[in-house]
Amino acid sequence: MLLNWTVMILYNYFSAMFVGPGYVPLGWTPEKSQDCMYLQYCKVCQSYKAPRSHHCRKCNRCVMKMDHHCPWINNCCGYQNHASFTLFLLLAPLGCIHASFIFVMTMYTQLYNRISFGWSSVKIDMSAAKRDPRPIIPFGLSAFAASLFALGLALGTTIAVGMLFIIQMKVILTNKTSIESWIEEKAKDRIQYYQTGETFIFPYDMGSKWKNFKQVFTWSGIPEGDGLDWPVRDGCHQYSLTIEQLKQKADKRVRSVRYRAVEDYSGVCCPVTKGVKTFFTTPCTEEPRIALSKGDLILATRGLKHWMYGEKILDSAADGGIRERGWFPRKCVEKCQYDSETDQPVDGEKKNR
């Protein structure tokens, strides 16, 4: 049984790793040219982003139905390997539960005849088993310590990976990805902030958990569709989600605040020279840091108490249109009093837009 668990776990693990998520073809454009207005353009891939696709900085490609980039498989979880990745998250805890049962029963049976209870103490004799015939494999102190350590690993893996499996099943049963769940939350925040009276309906939820489940898991192991065109629920548009993404991009540009660098920053993860609080409160994320030179302009979109995230304003012609986005220490910048493009105070303009 343990060999069966091992084979199934490794098969799905390597399938998720080597099959990959599926990438949007380089230079891809929709069949109807007028549909380009609903899509974002990726300057790195030189193509439009298909519905439900996102650009991964690690893979350096636009990934079809991207859920997240997983460092444990060194690949993205997306359209083609979502089922294999989820099965791996299911089988790993089941195998660990089986192993935990074996460890517990082994320690129980080995210690049962070695424990003696006194009036005020409990003694364990680990020298040898008090039974005949002697066990083929001796169970000494080192074996007990190793079994106890392995039991802790098995239980820890069961809890950690099991929670990831539950999270994945929640998004699969609603036919979403982790990124799309985040987009939906931001859509609700945008509508509430501007009081537009809109109602955002996620277009890819088929209205049935079983239908959503079949979008990912099939008997052939090949997911439905081609990763570019997706069935939508009644009353929704093929590009409903991408239109909402464009609205959020425009809203982010409106809400962004311009800052100017007053100190140099090398881009290291934990800068020692920027203060103790900045050092110990570095963002726990895979998002990059951007190096700053005194006088650089940055559009900040979000921030923490001692860190901010934004995009450096570059000369598009000189830098080939490459965008530099990432985290930087808050103490390295100061807020610009006036927007150089409109010559108006940034705070007074932000709400009016």
Q: Which of 62, 70, 76, 77 is catalytic?
A: 70
The Cα–Cα gap between 311 and 299 comes to 5
| Closest among 251, 269, 295 to 312, alpha carbons compared | 295
96 catalytic? Reply is no
The Cα–Cα gap between 308 and 259 comes to 10
Distances (CA, A) of 348 to 149, 195, 310, 338, 339: 60, 19, 20, 10, 11
Note the residue count of the chain: 353
Q: Which residue has the tokens 């985040």?
A: 182
Cα angle, residue 73 at apex, residues 70 and 77 outer, rounded to 5°:
50
The Cα–Cα gap between 123 and 251 comes to 69
DSSP 86-121: HHHHHHHHHHHHHHHHHHHHHHHHHHHTTEEE-SS-
DSSP 279-327: HHT---SS--B--B-TT-EEEEEEE-SSEEEEEE---HHHHTT--EEEE
**Residue spans of alpha helices (H) in the chain:** 2-19, 82-112, 141-173, 178-194, 209-216, 240-255, 276-280, 316-319, 346-352
The answer to whether 251 touches 297, Cβ cutoff 8 Å, is no
Catalytic residues, which ones? 70
